[in-house]
Amino acid sequence: MKPKILVARAVFPETLDYLSQHFEVESNQADTVWSKAELTARLRDKDGAFTTGSDRIDAEVLAACPKLKICANMAVGYNNFDLEAMTARGVLGTNTPDVLTETTADFGFALLMATARRMAESEHYLRAGQWTKWSYDMFAGSDIHGATLGILGMGRIGQGIARRGALGFGMNVIYHNRSRLDAATEAECKARYVSKEELLKTADHLVLVLPYSAASHHTIGAAELAQMKPTATLVNIARGGIVDDAALALALRDKRIAAAGLDVFEGEPKVHPGLLTVPNVVLTPHIASSSVPTRKAMAKLAADNLIEFFSKRRALTPLNSQVLAQT
């Protein structure tokens, strides 16, 4: 008898076909965002789950689903998992690192450029029929080439952005991270380690690429925004909650920083109303990894984690590998 799995959100049809070769699959191609109660009810008789960041797996869900053995996230982030509770219950969690690194770094740099050069503002102006003549300062933004790029969080994606900035645009790259990179990686990225205070005060363009946790909640708030240059831009492609969106909306309104580019938000898909009323922000709906090849690679890696677990009691990218030793 095949193990039963739940695919909690819509996914590529070929991914479902692939999974169906190995499992009895219940899918959600209608892409309904289930309530916690609905998700729990559907998981109750399942051995595994193919999840996304919108599917919260916590102690309450786990207690109601004793058959559940693995949750494979189609995402590199996993703040939807209560890993401590999952480990206590012997439930493996997996994610999809590496396959989205370069695509996400591409998007981060695109968002940085759109923010610095005021692309969204100027497009709205044009679409509204307000462009009637040329002027010397029309939507004059800030340069990317030769500027100081600050990166907060220097994992795989942060390093990808650093390489693009240093090698492609001749930027002076500085970074802050929980731990300093080794000398060889710093040299490859042409990046210099600095304190968080120096990063905030020095960067012309600050990009956030750190994982979300209780410790990183509101890493950028009113106090940190006050330390930034009034000409600086802020880009968040990490996770909602790392930035205090209410404080950022006020800083943008009062022009305490020049602009922001945001792909993630607190409480998404809801967006803080203050961010919707200021012109100097570029907003995108959490799409940094959204190229067709990358999303297909993410889906396949999540599927492969499920297949490897049930066929060989292992996983390609485990988050709490101690669970594997218990099985």
The residues, any chain, with a CB within 8 Å of residue 294's CB and separated by 6 or more, are: 99, 100, 103
Q: 3-state SS of 215-242?
A: CCCCCECHHHHHHCCCCCEEEECCCCCC
Catalytic pick among 118, 205, 239, 272: 239
- CA–CA separation, 101 vs 209, rounded Å? 11
- Largest Cα–Cα distance in the chain? 72
Annotated catalytic, 286? yes
Catalytic pick among 117, 286, 295, 308: 286
CA angle 207, 187, 193 (to 5 degrees): 50
Annotated catalytic, 14? no
Q: Which residues pair with 205 in a beta bridge?
A: 149, 233
Q: Which residues pair with 240 in a beta bridge?
A: none
- CA–CA separation, 246 vs 189, rounded Å? 33
Residue whose pair of structure tokens reads 């959600």 in the numeric block: 28
Please say whether the beta carbons of 255 and 233 come within 8 A.
Answer: no
Annotated catalytic, 268? yes
Catalytic positions are: 239, 268, 286
